[in-house]
Amino acid sequence: MAATVTGATDRTRARYAPFVLTRMSSLFLRTLRDDPADAEVPSHRLLVRAGYVRRVAPGIYSWLPLGLRVLRNVERVVREEMDAIGAQEIQFPALLPREPYEATGRWTEYGPTIFRLKDRKGGDYLLGPTHEELFTLAVKGEYSSYKDYPVMLYQVQNKYRDEARPRAGILRGREFLMKDSYSFDLADEGLAESYRLHREAYATIFDRLGLEYVIVSAVSGAMGGSASEEFLAITETGEDTYVRSPGGYAANVEAVTTPAPPARSVEGLPEAQAHHTPDTPTIESLVTFLNAVGLGREFTAADTLKNVLLKTRAPGAPEWSLLGVGLPGDREVDLKRIEAAVHPAEVALLDEADFARAPFLVKGYIGPAALAANGVRYLVDPRVVTGTAWVTGADKIDHHVVDLVCGRDFTPDGTIEAAEVRPGDPAPDGSGPLEAARGIEIGHIFQLGRKFADAFGLDALGPDSKPVRITMGSYGVGVSRLVAVIAEQSHDSDGLIWPRLVAPADVHLVVAGNAAEIRDGAEALAAECVAAGLSVLFDDRDARPGVKFADAELIGVPTIVVAGRGLASGVVEFKDRRTGERTEVPRGEAVGRLAALRDAG
Ligand code: ATP
Ligand code: MG
């Protein structure tokens, strides 16, 4: 694994263009004038209108000729950078037996997200959502000695996930193309190096594709493990919220940790006192009441301790168990952060029936005392440290207790990141106040550690003949999603604007006019372009120039060339799709200039 990331320059030229001259008169393409009714985001709208993709079912799309070219171009960039770090391409089936996923617990853990099916003999199968199991087994099958390691393997393959909310066309599909790679190392330092190589390769891929992105620290999600980062493309339409600080901190909201204040002494703090606080089931009503009765100081919501009751269930467990979460009353609960914190257990809010089964829970007046007395696990926000005093429920209708001190009057079972992260909160690394931004996950790199090696007993025989447990990394890029993300970041009101590297052609040549001289002149120019190695989308259709121009804008090839009346006086028009700039170019210079534009990337 000696290879390092090399420069992109010599790799930008080769392009997937199986038909160097594409005649639009016979191209399998019908552009649409109207937006599809179900399209919420620009990339979806434009990719459908421009005839790149077509919907088959929710989250399931076909690729038409131009779309497939862009997809293949993106795929090629990803492959080049994987090969450059010494990863080796292999391919697994998408249709997989249940057993390996049963062995790691993911058959159950993935829940309804997996497409499961049965064969004619009743055997259980699934369509692979990700392939850690198969890669681990493959390496176990081929390798045995420490001398075999390290190794990095990858594939580019369709993945299947029955997403709860397939969305925005190919952005969140139920079938989608992913590059997934896996590293296998003997020791932690090796894993760190494989991780670093992937991190650099991913940065190179996304740089080459011209994307604006951030790298955020992430929670480990469905996998459990240590270091984990996500690459998020910055877009307003993104589903992922992340936070950043002026000092360069960036993290998924789920990964933000709350700096805990130092614990204080409980000595000399006022005694806890229960008060009759009629009709105060909400924080707001409680604060208003406390300030109205005059307890000698002013209260705010931040002085109250709000106790939220949830239930959790470990994967495969038959029963739910109660979980009490205490957090400052001025903060809302962020269920996604709780989900990340308790993963792989599921979590849900309590319903009426749950409350009926636990009469010691007095809704609106729940306090730590009843939880402790009834053996309910109680986790608190990290700001609730020893020596902090709170107003909280007294476990009796219309009653609260004031000056209940953590570490003196109640002892939580631990802390949990359950509270919403707010703009202005301090970054955990001290790099300043946080602000929220939106993005779309395009890549994920992840130090898995030994979870999968443990599940399958993947060992290498060491120099001393003792087995060494292998440590793994897993790394994913959403290849089909990238097509949508590029479109999302690069379009205008008229259509798509592809970066040259992934455009479906180098040149979009429009024949503007029906005169034989114009047609013949354009044909000759197209042929010269092809001879110079340029791929040409040639609009030789029998249509009005206005229609052709509109389609050229919509389709988004970076350079549009118009061959029209100017040919008679020896000029064609170049239009830069990005800037809109038009230039008259002498016919004799056209091919050379187009080749130069392509080579400039
Ligand atoms: P997300 O948080 O967006 O659901 P994930 O964390 O489940 O993604 P991973 O398992 O890390 O995704 O998959 C690796 C990459 O595959 C992601 O970074 C993303 O680019 C892509 N991807 C994941 N799910 C989808 C999907 N439903 N459609 C298209 N691409 C996807
Ligand atoms: Mg992820």
DSSP 528-545: HHHHTT--EEEE--SS-H
- Distance, in Å, from the CA atom of 437 to the CA atom of 251, rounded to the nearest integer, reads 10
- Distance, in Å, from the CA atom of 304 to the CA atom of 286, rounded to the nearest integer, reads 9
Q: Is residue 172 lining ligand 1, measured as CB closer than 6 Å?
A: yes
Fold classification of 31-256+436-489 is BirA Bifunctional Protein; domain 2 (3.30.930)
Can you give the pLDDT at residue 219?
Answer: 67
Determine the distance separating the centroid of ligand 1 and the alpha carbon of 441, expressed in angstroms: 7
Local confidence band at 222 (pLDDT 50, 70, 90 cut-offs): very low
CA dihedral angle for residue 190, residue 195, residue 199, residue 200, rounded to 10 degrees: 20
Can you give the pLDDT at residue 226?
Answer: 58
Tokens of 497: 């604007």
CATH superfamily of this structure's domain 505-600? Anticodon-binding domain (3.40.50.800)
- Distance, in Å, from the CA atom of 328 to the CA atom of 249, rounded to the nearest integer, reads 25
Question: Which of 66-80, 242-256, 407-421, 565-579 shows the lowest mean pLDDT across its residues?
Answer: 242-256
Q: Is residue 336 lining ligand 1, measured as CB closer than 6 Å?
A: no
Taking only Cα atoms into account, the Rg of the chain, rounded to an integer number of angstroms, comes to 30
Q: How far from chain centre, in Å, is Cα 293?
A: 50
Q: Residues 294-323: pLDDT tens digits?
A: 888 899 999 999 999 999 998 778 899 999
Can you give the pLDDT at residue 265?
Answer: 92
Give the residue-averaged pLDDT of 125-134: 96
pLDDT > 70 in the chain, percent: 96
Question: Mean pLDDT for the chain?
Answer: 91
The architecture that CATH gives domain 273-415 is: Alpha-Beta Complex (3.90)
Determine the distance separating the centroid of ligand 1 and the alpha carbon of 478, expressed in angstroms: 6
pTM of the model: 0.81
User: φ and ψ at 393, to 5 degrees?
Assistant: -65, 145
The protein residues having their C-beta less than 5 angstroms from ligand 2 (an ion) are 444
Q: Hey, which of 17-21, 143-147, 236-240 has the most confident mean pLDDT?
A: 143-147
Tokens of 546: 């206005």
Determine the distance separating the centroid of ligand 2 and the alpha carbon of 346, expressed in angstroms: 18
Domain ranges of the chain: 31-256+436-489, 273-415, 505-600
Local confidence band at 13 (pLDDT 50, 70, 90 cut-offs): very low
Residue 117, Ramachandran bin (φ over 0: left; ψ between -120 and 50: alpha; else beta): beta
3-state secondary structure of 553: helix
Q: Please state the atom number of ligand 1 nearest to the C-alpha of residue 166.
A: 27
**Is the model's pLDDT at 278 over the cut of 50?**
yes
Residue 450, Ramachandran bin (φ over 0: left; ψ between -120 and 50: alpha; else beta): alpha
**Is the model's pLDDT at 17 over the cut of 70?**
no
Before 344, cis peptide (omega within 30)? yes
Tokens of 141: 């099958």
Residue 33, classified by CB atoms within 10 Å of its CB into exposed (0-12), middle (13-18) or buried (19+), is exposed
- Distance, in Å, from the CA atom of 151 to the CA atom of 132, rounded to the nearest integer, reads 14
Before 259, cis peptide (omega within 30)? no
Question: Which of 12-26, 60-74, 305-319, 494-508 shows the lowest mean pLDDT across its residues?
Answer: 12-26
Determine the distance separating the centroid of ligand 1 and the alpha carbon of 497, expressed in angstroms: 24
Q: Residues 517-566: pLDDT tens digits?
A: 999 999 999 999 999 999 999 999 999 999 999 999 999 999 999 999 99
Q: Is residue 220 lining ligand 1, measured as CB closer than 6 Å?
A: no
Q: Please state the atom number of ligand 1 nearest to the C-alpha of residue 446.
A: 11
Can you give the pLDDT at residue 90?
Answer: 97
- Distance, in Å, from the CA atom of 238 to the CA atom of 241, rounded to the nearest integer, reads 8
Residue of minimum CA distance from atom 2 in ligand 1: 441
Residue of 53, 444, 447 with the most ligand 1 atoms within 8 Å of its CB, for mutation: 444
